[in-house]
Structure 1
């Protein structure tokens, strides 16, 4: 027998905010909206239709994007967007770029604009 009870899990804050906003428009709670999106995504991802195989081939770089229909292109874009958002949440691009010898600039926790150098040194940049 499958346990259908809810399990505690973490959800990205931006997804929770979007689910709350969309859920209120659809008369659903944020959790119900997330469940709905997950079920729709699961159904779409599990389709092994010719269109799905074509999108997967495009994602792998084996099919040119110009060969995708409008609908296939929308699925392709959604897959790419999700992958980018997942990577942004897990990869420290500052470290990746520093390892390549690239200096970056970002806001720190105080809201100051800081230059991060590949050697590990930093400098707060002045406003002008």
Structure 2
């Protein structure tokens, strides 16, 4: 049940699916699992221990990865993975490729294959009959 302080927000589908699966194993709802993960992440991110500073230095390229402990490596990998996923989610590949002169194809909302050309024109390749 939603708390009065809860806010409506969008969550990536893969995170929601993972939260639902893990939440079921932990006797939590998907929302409760996301809250749990967020609190853990907030706590870990807020730590300014020597280990955290070492991971941040590695992320900035100032420390060799071989200098990280196994636990620091796990945090490093999680940070890199999250950064990549955020970058991928925020990139408009259609616009990027179009600017480079690349023709792309994609499914439209009705499931038809549409060719999008760099000049801004598009056409359905195999219309439904």
Aligned residue for 1:7? 6
Secondary structure of the equivalent of 1:91? coil
Q: Which runs of 5+ in 2 are unaligned?
A: none
Written as runs of structure 1 = structure 2, the 5 A alignment for 1:59-74 is: 59-74=59-74
CA RMSD of aligned residues (A): 2.4
Tell me the matched-pair count.
123
Partner residue of 1:32? 32
- Aligned counterparts of 2:110 and 2:68: Cα–Cα separation in 1: 45
Q: Residue 85 of structure 1 aligns with which residue?
A: 85
SS of residue in 2 equivalent to 1:106: strand
- Secondary structure at the counterpart of residue 111 of structure 2: coil
Cα deviation, 1:31-66, whole Å, max 9, x if unaligned, reads: 211111011001110111222112212222333333
The unaligned stretches of length 5 or more in structure 1 are none
State the 1:5 CA deviation. 4.5
Residue equivalent to 2:99:
99
Query: Which stretch of structure 1 is more off in the superposition, 33-42 or 65-74?
Result: 65-74
1:111/1:73 CA distance change after superposition, 3 Å:
farther
Higher mean Cα deviation, 45-54 or 32-41?
Answer: 45-54
Measure how far apart 1:88 and its partner are: 3.0
Match of 2:115, SS state, is strand
When the two structures are superposed, what TM-score results if normalisation uses the length of structure 1? 0.76
